[in-house]
Structure 1
Amino acid sequence: MTSSQPDQAPDAPLALPGYAHVYSGKVRDLYAPLDDSGAPRDDQLLLVASDRLSAFDFILDSPIPDKGAVLTQLSLWWFEQLVDLVPNHVVSTDVPSAVAGRAVLVNRLKMLPVECVARAYLTGGGLREYVADGQVSGVRLPEGLVDGSRLPEPVFTPSTKAPVGEHDEPMPYADVERELGADLAARARELTVAILKRGNEIAAERGILIADTKVEFGLEGDTLVLADEVLTPDSSRFWPADQWEPGHTQPSFDKEFVREWLISPASGWDKASGEAPPPLPDDVVERTRAKYVEAYERLTGRSFSAG
Structure 2
Amino acid sequence: MSEALDIPGWKHVYSGKVRDLYAPADGDETRMLVVASDRVSAFDHVLAPGIPGKGALLTALSLWWFEQLAGGDGGQPIANHLTGERVPDEVAGRSMIVRSLQMLPVECVVRGYLTGSGWLEYQDSGTVCGIPLPEGLQDGDRLPEPIYTPAYKAPLGEHDENISFEKTVELVGTERAAQLRDLSLAIYRRAAATAEAHGLILADTKFEFGIDAAVEGEDGILRLADEVLTSDSSRYWDAEAWRTGTTPKDRMASFDKQIVRDWLAANWDKQGTPPALPAEIVDRTVARYRELIGKLTA
Alpha-carbon distance in 2 for matches of 1:86, 1:80: 9
Give the C-alpha shift of residue 224 in structure 1: 1.1
Alignment correspondent of 2:15: 24
Aligned length: 283
| Distance change in 2, residues 1:254/1:123 (3 Å) | same
Alignment correspondent of 2:238: 240
Query: 2:199 matched to 1:207?
Result: yes
Query: 2:103 matched to 1:108?
Result: no
Equivalent residue for 2:30, pick from 43, 68, 79: 43
SS in 1 for 2:161: coil
Amino acid at match of 1:279: A
Equivalent residue for 1:164, pick from 149, 152, 156: 156
SS in 1 for 2:277: coil
Deviates further, 20-29 or 175-184: 175-184
Alignment correspondent of 1:257: 259
Deviations 1:71-111 (A, max 9, x none): 11111110111113420000125111111000010001011
Higher relative contact order (CA 8 A, sep 6+): 1
> TM-score w.r.t. structure 1 length?
0.89
Query: 2:251 matched to 1:280?
Result: no
Amino acid at match of 1:51: D
Query: 2:49 matched to 1:57?
Result: no
Unmatched tracts of structure 1, length 5 or more: 1-8, 302-307
CA contact (8 A) 1:146 1:247 kept: no
> TM-score w.r.t. structure 2 length?
0.91
CA contact (8 A) 1:119 1:212 kept: yes
Alpha-carbon distance in 1 for matches of 2:133, 2:104: 26
Deviations 1:189-218 (A, max 9, x none): 011111111111111111110100011000
Percent of counterpart pairs with the same letter?
52
Q: Root-mean-square deviation (CA), in Å?
A: 1.4
Give the C-alpha shift of residue 159 in structure 1: 1.0
Equivalent residue for 2:125, pick from 133, 149, 153: 133
Alignment correspondent of 2:291: 294
Equivalent residue for 2:61, pick from 42, 54, 74: 74
| Distance change in 2, residues 1:234/1:107 (3 Å) | same
CA contact (8 A) 2:268 2:275 kept: no
Deviations 1:224-251 (A, max 9, x none): 1000011000000000001114752422
Unmatched tracts of structure 2, length 5 or more: 71-75, 214-219
Alpha-carbon distance in 2 for matches of 1:109, 1:281: 38
| Distance change in 2, residues 1:282/1:169 (3 Å) | same
Alpha-carbon distance in 2 for matches of 1:138, 1:179: 19
